[in-house]
Amino acid sequence: MTENKLLKSQQRCYLKVLSSLSVGLFALIVSGCSSSPTPKFYSLSTQTLTSSSSNLKVRMIEVLPVGLSDRLNRIPLVIQQENGQAKVLFDDRWTSTLSAELRDAVSARLQQTLGAVDRYNSGMTGGQAAYRIALDFSNFDFIEKSNQQRFMLMNATWTLRYDDPNRPLSIPKNAQTLPQRHQLSCRMSFYEEIPQKNKDLNTLVTVSQKAIDQLSISIASSVKHLENRNQPITGGVCS
């Protein structure tokens, strides 16, 4: 009986130790989970409302999904470094993939600037003339130099095509004037250094919004140039 009591006592002791370890381990896991940082989300779309085009004419546009390399087309923000390394900031994220952010931001600005409707996501069918805009980004980078200086670099190209389903496919022999070109190929670059005192990500995102603003202004001016060759193209180069 004495031995049985001793064994039972030892078993109770072991159970208490295991129970204490389990509680301690659980508390450690919960503590680790609760200390994980909450992700921050950023968007290229701005909430500032500006006056839209006063032109009563409503244009139809179609902003296609943008071209963007796989190294950039992700949800976490990425800081490129001069030595070729990249820092992926998993706790600082775009609200969607970067390609979707770019397309949506450009579309929203063009609709406001041109007084236009983007038929790409509107559910509208064909049959109406529209400006089709195909964008490609070779750079949309946050870059950090070896001296910790950061800057934002954007290189973008776009093809603008006026699609009119009612336009005749051939030119009548008795036509008095030749039709204007219905397509432009354009490009523009943006570069801005970030002051050392403003290295936070909010400043980087604000500068990237500025880049999209300038790109959208340039695309809008190319649309107007396609309508009227006397209209200058702002910020970009087209041919």
pLDDT tens digit sequence for 154-201: 999 999 999 887 666 565 566 554 445 689 999 999 999 998 777 789
Predicted local confidence at residue 178, as pLDDT: 42
Q: What are phi and psi of 190, to 5 degrees?
A: -140, 135
Rounded to 5 degrees, what angle do the CA atoms 124, 211, 93 make?
Answer: 80
3-state secondary structure of 28: helix
* In CATH, 56-166+180-238 is 3.40.50.10610: yes
Q: How far apart are CA 211 and CA 143, in angstroms?
A: 15
Q: pLDDT tens digit string along 137-148?
A: 999 999 999 888
pTM of the model: 0.79
Question: What ranges do the domains of the chain cover?
Answer: 56-166+180-238
- How far, in Å, CA of 195 to CA of 149, rounded? 8
